[in-house]
Amino acid sequence: MEFGKAHYREHRNPGAGEEDVRFAFPTRFPPGFKIGKYFRIAVWKWQRLPYASPYADVSGHDLRSLEARRRMEKRAVAAVHELLSLTVEKRTTLERLALFRDALGVPKKIKEFLLKYQGIFYISTRGNQGKLHTVFLREAYYKGELVEPNEIYAARRKLEELLMLNPQKANLDRMFTSMGRGWDELGGGRRGGAELREEFLGEASDRRTNTKCFAIELS
């Protein structure tokens, strides 16, 4: 993909061979982030640190050495990166990521862990009155929009715009009441139309708020 090639060129030092950048991640730090000499050197070394594939079985690896633990931590970064890249919108909530914490190999304090890699991930805490944490894959966004949008992403955006344009004309109350009955019949438990309406529209509103904040942060 052209975007990936552009990032590959951007993060490849002049004269560096492919072996040097094989384990590197595209990075873009937030505005105002101070990058000192020693931090730059540390990032340079970390980018070239080899790590096992997120799909490889590492249950038998010896983690007694510091080098082995550093490689395993980078593998956890790669696992989260891979998971986000497989989602439709290249983002998910921190709470959902926590459900896969053991499989991803990330530590218990997952938020603090991801904040160590601000050049790769962005965490928004503005959704749902500051209670919802959304994790974005930085390389997938430019000014708050997906660099490579897909049909499902476009359809979701269009549906959100239509629903929020004039909820009364869309007769949403009847629609969500019907959805509540269907949910109950499928074994999901009895849920009222108002509850589903608030959940769906609230989530859509939070997504727009998070993306808007992300766009401001990138500009």
Secondary structure string (H, E, C) spanning the chain: CHHHHHHHHHCCCCCCCHHHHCCCCCCCCCCCCCCCHHHHHHHHHHHCCCCCCCCCCCCCCCCCCHHHHHHHHHHHHHHHHHHHHCCCCCEEEHHHHHHCHHHHCCCCCHHHHHHCCCCCEEEEEEECCCCEEEEEEHHHEECCEECCCCHHHHHHHHHHHHHHHCCCCCCHHHHHHHHHHHHHHCCCCCCCHHHHHHHHHHHHHHHHHHHHHHHHHHC
Q: Which residues, at least 6 apart from 91, have a Cβ–Cβ distance to it below 8 Å?
A: 84, 134, 135, 136, 137, 140, 210
- Mean pLDDT score, 90-95: 92
Range of the domain at 114: 2-141
Name the residue with higher pLDDT: 195 or 32: 32
Q: What percent of the chain has pLDDT over 90?
A: 38
| Residue 178, pLDDT score | 56
Name the residue with higher pLDDT: 99 or 4: 99
Same structural domain for residues 170 and 65?
A: no
Same structural domain for residues 130 and 173?
A: no
pTM of the model: 0.68
| Residue 174, pLDDT score | 58
Same structural domain for residues 36 and 79?
A: yes
Same structural domain for residues 63 and 128?
A: yes
Task: Pull the structure tokens for residue 207.
Answer: 């997504």
Same structural domain for residues 7 and 109?
A: yes
Same structural domain for residues 63 and 91?
A: yes
The answer to whether residue 46 scores a pLDDT higher than 60 is yes
The answer to whether residue 39 scores a pLDDT higher than 80 is yes
The answer to whether residue 9 scores a pLDDT higher than 50 is no
Same structural domain for residues 106 and 12?
A: yes
Number of structural domains (the chain) is 2
| Residue 176, pLDDT score | 55
Same structural domain for residues 27 and 81?
A: yes
Question: Where does a domain end: 120, 141, 162?
Answer: 141
Name the residue with higher pLDDT: 176 or 89: 89
pLDDT band, very low/low/confident/very high, at 72 (cuts 50, 70, 90): very high
Mean pLDDT is lowest, of 104-118, 160-174, 198-212, for 198-212
Mean pLDDT is lowest, of 28-32, 77-81, 112-116, for 28-32
Task: Pull the structure tokens for residue 104.
Answer: 């991803």
The answer to whether residue 58 scores a pLDDT higher than 60 is yes
Please check whether residue 146 lies inside any domain of the structure.
no
Same structural domain for residues 181 and 211?
A: yes
Terminal C-alpha separation, the chain? 24
The answer to whether residue 4 scores a pLDDT higher than 70 is no
- For 102-146, how does the pLDDT look when each residue is reduced to its tens digit (9 = 90+)? 999 999 999 999 999 999 999 987 655 666 789 999 999 988 889
pLDDT band, very low/low/confident/very high, at 12 (cuts 50, 70, 90): very low
Mean pLDDT is lowest, of 65-74, 116-125, 200-209, for 200-209
Same structural domain for residues 116 and 177?
A: no
